[in-house]
Amino acid sequence: MSADGATPTRPRDAARVAGMGETVFATYSALARATNAINLGQGFPDDAPDGAVLEALRAGADGHQQYAPMPGDPNLTGAIARALGGALARDLDPLANVQVTVGATEGLFASVQALVDPGDEVVIVEPWYDAYPEMVRMAGGRVVGVPMRLEGARWRLDRAALTAAVGPRTRLVMVNTPHNPTGAVYDDDDLDAIVAAAARADAVVLSDEVYEHLAFVPFTRLASRPGAWERTLTVSSIGKSFGVTGWKVGWVSGPDDLVGAVRAAHQWIPFAVATPLQRACATLLEGVASDGGASFARLRASLERRRDLLTAVLTDTGFTAHHADGGYFVVADATALGFGDGEALARALPAAAGVVAIPMRAFVSGEHCALVDGMLRFAFCKGDDAIAEAGVRLRAWRDRGFAAA
């Protein structure tokens, strides 16, 4: 009750969530279900994983029903340390250098909780994965956005803008390569510029590499660059590499002092991650370690082919499609079709065309929203049938003169 005893009230929300909106992925996947549209919005594969993945899941469940150790199941931390250590040419200690988390999401959240105090600045490249700025705000940090540049059909890191944005108050620089949503893959000069800027400010780099095995051009891990390891936390997860986004098993790796800080936060968030899933992930990582990279090469080839299919569909519809060098997504500009407001188009598209895409507006700050006016993000990690049917529907919409429903 309010002070006058008449008006019913409810307990107030904490400031960190008061007025917070819903994530765009919840909104647009619900819209896809409600309208029976093809969901090229949220990034998850819609084909069944292969038999070996399901077999690993069944075997992982066998006899492993109790809490895993807080840092992670030793089979999994061992497999991660071997895989990443091999890639970085560095001897990693599974306990000191790896923390298993509930997907990359909890890895990022725990890292921000571990490193950001109220008032600290966190530099984030825009467009960004929508969770990043919210995680920083929930920790009381101040978000400093650095816009990427569109160079021809490719999105590129603006090294000069990033360097200028990192200063004495910067505690963390959050980057993602291969990049969601633009499909950019940072080259070595980009990575060196990030490391140099962070070093000058004595800041930590949080490198989100969940699409590490889905680059269609040469890919370098940020932590492998000179001077990077000591100040870098690398985040990844099982979801994209094996087409199992619902498993939500991830990890954070880096030098022992930084991983120790992440672990201090993690122990009070979930404490431990589902044991059967960790066992299954260990089996999958051990399996690919012994196949000489063949299965990841097949996965990349299959995704690259679907990128080309979807890009052709979008171009044929009249969109200006950008070029994705990695990941799950292609960005397309509808300005030439007469849609300057990508958010309005994304809301209308399910009813008008029977297809869901995500407005790029969801991935930028208000300050930099002009960068993505008229743009949508489409996922190509879907089956051939879904992409072909989306093509049929989008062309029919084009032939109706891009009419609303």
The yes or no reply on residue 275 touching ligand GLN (CB under 6 A) is no
In terms of Cα–Cα distance, which of 125, 39, 45 is closest to 378?
39
In whole angstroms, what is the distance from residue 263 CA to residue 107 CA?
10
- Closest residue to ligand PMP, Cβ-based? 103
Instruction: Please identify, using beta-carbon distances, which residue of 210 and 233 lies nearer to ligand PMP.
Output: 210
Tracing tokens 């260990």 back to the chain, one arrives at: 282
Bridge-based pairing state of the strands 121-126 and 98-101: unpaired
d(CA 239, CA 244) in angstroms, rounded, equals: 5
Q: Residues binding ligand GLN: what is the number (CB under 6 A)? A: 4
Give CA 224 to chain center in angstroms: 20
Cα-atom radius of gyration of the chain, to the nearest Å?
A: 22
The nearer residue to ligand GLN, 231 or 248, going by C-beta atoms, is: 248
Q: Does residue number 25 form part of the binding site for ligand GLN (CB under 6 A)? A: yes
* Listed residue (40, 43, 55) closest to 246, CA to CA: 43
CB–CB of 265/106 below 8 Å? no
Query: What binding mask, one character per residue, do residues 154-183 give for ligand GLN by CB under 6 A, x or -?
Result: --------------------------x---
- DSSP lists the bridge partners of residue 236 as 251
The site for ligand PMP, by CB under 6 A, has a size of 13
- Three-class DSSP category at 231: helix
| Choice from 43, 94, 183, 342 touching ligand GLN (CB under 6 A) | 43
Candidate residues 77, 177, 232, 245; the one interacting with ligand PMP per rule CB under 6 A: 245
Residue number, 56 or 175, with CB nearest to ligand PMP:
175
Residue 174 to residue 198: CA distance in whole angstroms? 10
Closest-CA residue to 317 (of 359, 384, 378) = 378
Partner touching 60 among ligand PMP, ligand GLN, none, CB below 5 to 8 Å by kind: none
Binding partner of residue 25 among ligand PMP, ligand GLN, none, CB cut-off 5 to 8 Å per kind: ligand GLN
- Gap between the Cα atoms of 391 and 385, Å rounded: 10
Q: How far is the CB of 183 from ligand PMP (least distance, A)?
A: 11
Site mask, ligand PMP, residues 135-174, x = CB under 6 A?
Answer: ----------------------------------------
**Binding positions for ligand PMP, 93-112, rule CB under 6 A:** 103-105
| Residue 129, number of CB atoms within 10 A of its CB | 21
Our finding on whether 209 is near ligand PMP (CB under 6 A) is no
Name the minimum Å distance from CB 379 to ligand GLN: 6
Tokens found for residue 257: 């002092």
Please list every residue from 60 through 89 that binds ligand PMP, using CB under 6 A: none
Interface residues with ligand GLN (CB under 6 A)?
A: 25, 42-43, 180
Interface residues with ligand PMP (CB under 6 A)?
A: 103-105, 129, 176, 180, 208, 210, 237, 239, 245, 248, 250
